[in-house]
């Protein structure tokens, strides 16, 4: 047995270390909050004068973007961002949830051990690589589709290859790791007793998955979807390379998915390099809109997750 002096020494050292580590951890957390506040303050300071002088509603509902003439309508960019994100979610959610269900409930360990590293690698690929893939593969396929099946349907002024649909497909691939990883963790976090009780009552494995496990994990799955939506809205480089970057409202209904478009992030990235002072302020105003959208999405995730946790308790 340890003597009393050695025991007291071992107890005093952790207490002293804890007294030092606690302020360090608190400072780190406070720094993260301070950085967020500083970013928000900087963006609002630069962009708010444009919003206050031009009008928030005029900016959101305006259809013409000509900052050199002090016309700051961002509705075409908002519409393009919405369409691209919607297409990405419509493609990415079913594939992502199906993969998460397969990995968590069906896949043999050896198969899951092959698929999971591939998904992690998918998350680590830089955005510009996705953009190159979109240019070489997706835009080429889209060009053949537009010239072939849609040649007599599309208007002649369409820029072939670059389209909203191309951007949505690229983003759908990019958000798969987010949906798969979070949804799989949520399904694994469901208490095992739920599954055992459902099977004991005579449910099949598939019935248990869709009627018990998925409803029990819905807060985590919704969080995965909303975070993937935030990733889609905030993506820049890949979209710049595949969507054509044309600030115009869709004019042809559903066929507009084959038309080039622009997004909030793409406009900021493309124009900031050559923008004058007033033009830069307008781009910061666009950044304010983007910042508020992302903040609202994150707030929704936090509120929904807390509500889901309280309901489970």
Q: Is the pLDDT of residue 182 over 80?
A: yes
pLDDT of residue 249: 77
Q: What is the pLDDT of residues 219-238, one digit of tens each?
A: 889 888 888 888 888 888 88
Name the residue among 246, 229, 135, 238 with its Cα closest to residue 178. Answer: 229
Residues 6 or more apart in contact with residue 298 via CB below 8 angstroms:
230
Sequence spans of domains, the chain: 1-54, 56-312
pLDDT band at 100 (very low <50, low <70, confident <90, very high): very high
Q: Is the pLDDT of residue 93 over 90?
A: yes
In this predicted structure, which of 2-6, 130-134, 222-226, 234-238 has the lowest mean pLDDT? 2-6
The angle formed by the CA atoms of residues 46, 52 and 56, to the nearest 5 degrees, is 105
Q: Is the pLDDT of residue 49 over 50?
A: yes
In this predicted structure, which of 19-23, 130-134, 213-217 has the lowest mean pLDDT? 19-23
Q: Which residue has the higher pLDDT, 305 or 181?
A: 181
Distance of alpha carbon 143 from alpha carbon 160, whole angstroms: 5
How far out from the chain centre does Cα 21 lie?
34
Mean of the pLDDT values across residues 267-282? 87
Q: What is the mean pLDDT of the chain?
A: 84
Residues 6 or more apart in contact with residue 43 via CB below 8 angstroms:
284, 287, 288, 291
pLDDT band at 62 (very low <50, low <70, confident <90, very high): confident
Q: Is the pLDDT of residue 312 over 70?
A: no
Q: What is the pLDDT of residues 7-39, one digit of tens each?
A: 455 545 566 667 777 788 888 888 888 988 898
pLDDT of residue 159: 62
Query: CB of 236 within 8 A of CB of 141?
Result: no
Q: Which residue has the higher pLDDT, 67 or 13?
A: 67
The whole model's pTM is what?
0.84
Q: Is the pLDDT of residue 1 over 50?
A: no
Residues 6 or more apart in contact with residue 236 via CB below 8 angstroms:
127, 265, 266, 268, 269
Distance of alpha carbon 163 from alpha carbon 311, whole angstroms: 43
Query: How are the residues of the chain apportioned to helix, strand and coil, as percentages rounded to the nearest 5?
Result: 80, 0, 20
Distance of alpha carbon 264 from alpha carbon 60, whole angstroms: 12
Q: Return the bridge partners of 71, or none.
A: 66
Q: Is the pLDDT of residue 179 over 90?
A: yes
Which residue's structure tokens are 């958000």? 175
Among the residues of 211-251, which ranges form H helices?
214-216, 218-234, 237-242
Task: For the chain, report the end-to-end CA distance as a whole number of angstroms.
Answer: 44
In this predicted structure, which of 3-12, 35-44, 253-262, 288-297 has the lowest mean pLDDT? 3-12
Distance of alpha carbon 212 from alpha carbon 198, whole angstroms: 7
The helix or strand, by DSSP H or E, that contains position 308, with its residue range, turns out to be helix 277-312
CATH 3.40.50.410 fits 56-312, yes or no: no
pLDDT band at 171 (very low <50, low <70, confident <90, very high): very high
């Amino acid at each position: 047995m340890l003597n009393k002096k050695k025991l007291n020494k071992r107890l005093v050292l952790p207490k002293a270390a804890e007294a030092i580590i606690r302020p360090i951890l608190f400072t780190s957390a406070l720094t993260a909050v301070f950085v967020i506040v500083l970013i928000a303050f900087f963006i609002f300071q630069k962009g708010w004068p444009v919003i206050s002088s031009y009008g928030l509603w005029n900016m959101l509902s305006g259809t013409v973007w000509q900052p050199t003439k002090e016309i700051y309508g961002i509705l075409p960019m908002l519409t393009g961002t919405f369409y691209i994100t919607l297409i990405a979610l419509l493609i990415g959610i079913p594939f992502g949830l199906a993969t998460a269900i397969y990995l968590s409930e069906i896949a043999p360990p050896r198969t899951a051990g092959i698929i999971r590293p591939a998904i992690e690698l998918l998350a680590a690929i830089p955005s510009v690589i996705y953009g190159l893939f979109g240019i070489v593969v997706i835009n080429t396929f889209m060009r053949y589709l537009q010239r072939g099946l849609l040649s007599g349907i599309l208007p002649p002024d369409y820029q072939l290859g670059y389209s909203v649909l191309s951007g949505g497909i690229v983003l759908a691939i990019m958000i798969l790791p987010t949906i798969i990883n979070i949804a799989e963790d949520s399904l694994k976090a469901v208490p095992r007793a739920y599954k055992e009780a459902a099977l004991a009552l005579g449910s099949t494995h598939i019935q248990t998955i869709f009627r018990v496990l998925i409803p029990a994990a819905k807060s985590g799955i919704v969080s995965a979807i909303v975070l993937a939506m935030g990733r889609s809205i905030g993506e820049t480089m890949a979209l710049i390379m595949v969507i054509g970057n044309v600030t115009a409202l869709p004019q042809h209904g559903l066929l507009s998915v084959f038309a080039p478009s622009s997004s909030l992030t793409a406009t900021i990235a493309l124009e900031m390099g050559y923008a004058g002072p007033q033009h830069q302020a307008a781009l910061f105003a666009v950044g304010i809109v983007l910042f508020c959208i992302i903040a609202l999405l994150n707030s929704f995730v936090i509120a929904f997750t807390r509500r889901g946790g309280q309901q489970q308790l």
